């Protein structure tokens, strides 16, 4: 009898132990799932658009920018890619699934419905990040030109809107003179000047810093409405420039949407600049949320010296 009872208790305690284990495992799996779901939900959703660009390096720069955003742990990034040539009638991303669109696109017009959907997305409060040649795109698309503020090439001229720059006395000028929109001299390292130290994107960034080798876009022109120039660079006449302080970093309000626009980022080495990386990360956060919490890193370039991080990813892209 005692033996039987012992056996019963052993069986019962084994059963109890097993049920505790099963519950614990189930709970921990559930907790993990909830945690993952929460952290995914909390991330800022970025849609990177590309597929056509007069810069052959675009697949690599897209990969670089995707990685720069991912490394902050703040963003999730999906890519929407057009066909390599012409208007891609199937290009119709669901913009409203995202907080912010990052454009590395400079190519044929998007289908009209896609353009309308994109306009609605920004007007309703979506964010947009425009990098380098993305401001060459869509010269005829009026709403897009309102979003980017100023752009270049694509037969942009006085009808596109004024030239926008700071003159020698550091006054912001809108100049309606005739002439083409967009040009640049030979690539070089150049000094960046902060024009809005109190703006969330610029807070903590030095008053001046040396940017890595890049094209210095000048003579950009466009509607230039609701625009705030955050940083400029002097376009030296000795480098075929304008002798003006040209906008390099700017923000634009369009409807309820926020746009971060940088003309920097021509090549891999340009985008390896810590100044470029920092502005891209902070500008994307701002375009999505209106705030900036990402810090300015210790290796940010100084006035005396550029600072770059060699881009390398494990899959060798
Ligand atoms: Zn370029």
Rounded to the nearest integer, the mean pLDDT of the chain is: 91
How far, in Å, is the centroid of ligand 1 from the Cα of 264?
8
Residue 189 lies in a domain: yes
Query: How far is the C-alpha of 170 from the C-alpha of 196, rounded, in Å?
Result: 12
Please list, in sequence order, all residues whose beta carbon lies within 8 angstroms of the beta carbon of residue 217, skipping any fewer than 6 positions away.
132, 135, 152, 182, 183, 184, 246, 248, 263
Better pLDDT: 79 or 1: 79
- The model carries a pTM of 0.87
How far, in Å, is the centroid of ligand 1 from the Cα of 266?
4
Residue 107 lies in a domain: yes
How far, in Å, is the centroid of ligand 1 from the Cα of 187?
9
**Which whole number is the average pLDDT over 47-57?**
98
- What is the DSSP track for 107-141? SSPPPHHHHHHHHHHHHTT-EEEEEGGGGGS-TT-
How far, in Å, is the centroid of ligand 1 from the Cα of 132?
7
Residue 16 lies in a domain: no
Read off the CATH number of the domain in which 265 is found: 3.40.50.880
What is the band of 32 on the pLDDT scale with cuts at 50, 70, 90? very low
How far, in Å, is the centroid of ligand 1 from the Cα of 184?
9
Residue 275 lies in a domain: yes
At residue 41, the pLDDT reads 76
At residue 91, the pLDDT reads 98
How far, in Å, is the centroid of ligand 1 from the Cα of 241?
15
- pLDDT for 270-289, tens place per residue? 999 999 999 999 999 999 99
**Run of H or E including 50:** strand 44-50
Number of domains observed in the structure of the chain: 1
At residue 29, the pLDDT reads 46
What is the band of 39 on the pLDDT scale with cuts at 50, 70, 90? confident
How far, in Å, is the centroid of ligand 1 from the Cα of 265?
7
- pLDDT for 160-206, tens place per residue? 999 999 999 999 999 999 999 999 999 999 999 999 999 999 999 99
How far, in Å, is the centroid of ligand 1 from the Cα of 133?
6
Query: How far is the C-alpha of 73 from the C-alpha of 267, rounded, in Å?
Result: 25
How far, in Å, is the centroid of ligand 1 from the Cα of 38?
39
How far, in Å, is the centroid of ligand 1 from the Cα of 270?
10
How far, in Å, is the centroid of ligand 1 from the Cα of 145?
19
Residue 312 lies in a domain: no
How far, in Å, is the centroid of ligand 1 from the Cα of 36?
39
Its domain, for residue 132, covers 43-289
Residue 67 in this model has a pLDDT that exceeds 90: yes
Token readout for 148 is 């980017």
- pLDDT for 240-255, tens place per residue? 999 999 999 999 999 9
At residue 313, the pLDDT reads 74
What is the band of 21 on the pLDDT scale with cuts at 50, 70, 90? very low
Residue 103 in this model has a pLDDT that exceeds 90: yes
Query: How far is the C-alpha of 290 from the C-alpha of 273, rounded, in Å?
Result: 24
What is the band of 50 on the pLDDT scale with cuts at 50, 70, 90? very high
How far, in Å, is the centroid of ligand 1 from the Cα of 111?
25
Please list, in sequence order, all residues whose beta carbon lies within 8 angstroms of the beta carbon of residue 185, skipping any fewer than 6 positions away.
216, 218, 235, 236, 239, 240, 241
């Amino acid at each position: 009898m005692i033996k039987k009872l012992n056996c019963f208790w052993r069986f019962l305690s084994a059963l109890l132990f097993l049920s505790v284990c099963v519950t614990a495992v189930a709970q921990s799996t559930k907790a993990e799932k909830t945690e993952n779901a929460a952290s995914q939900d909390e991330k800022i959703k970025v849609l990177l658009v590309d597929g056509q660009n007069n810069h052959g390096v675009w697949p690599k720069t897209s990969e670089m920018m995707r990685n720069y955003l991912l490394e902050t742990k703040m963003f999730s990034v999906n890519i929407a890619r057009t066909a390599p040539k012409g208007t891609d009638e199937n290009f119709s991303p669901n913009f409203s699934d995202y907080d912010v669109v990052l454009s590395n696109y400079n190519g044929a017009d998007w289908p009209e419905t896609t353009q309308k959907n994109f306009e609605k997305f920004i007007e309703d409060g979506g964010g947009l990040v425009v990098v380098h040649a993305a401001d060459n795109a869509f010269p005829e698309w009026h709403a897009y030109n309102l979003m980017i503020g100023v752009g270049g090439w694509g037969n942009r001229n006085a009808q596109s809107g004024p030239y926008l720059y700071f003159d020698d006395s550091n006054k912001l000028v809108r100049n309606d003179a005739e002439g083409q929109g967009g040009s640049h001299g030979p690539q070089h390292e150049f000094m960046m000047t902060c024009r809005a130290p109190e703006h969330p994107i610029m807070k903590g960034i030095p008053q001046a810093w040396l940017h890595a080798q890049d094209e210095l876009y000048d003579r950009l022109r466009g509607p230039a409405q609701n625009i705030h120039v955050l940083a400029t660079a002097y376009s030296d006449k000795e480098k075929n420039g304008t002798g003006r302080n040209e906008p390099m970093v700017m923000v634009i309000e369009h409807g309820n949407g926020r746009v971060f626009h940088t003309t920097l980022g021509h090549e891999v080495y340009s985008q390896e600049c810590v100044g470029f990386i920092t502005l891209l990360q902070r500008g994307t956060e701002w375009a999505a949320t209106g705030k900036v919490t990402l810090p300015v890193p210790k290796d940010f370039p100084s006035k005396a010296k550029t600072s770059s991080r060699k881009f390398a990813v494990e899959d060798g892209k």
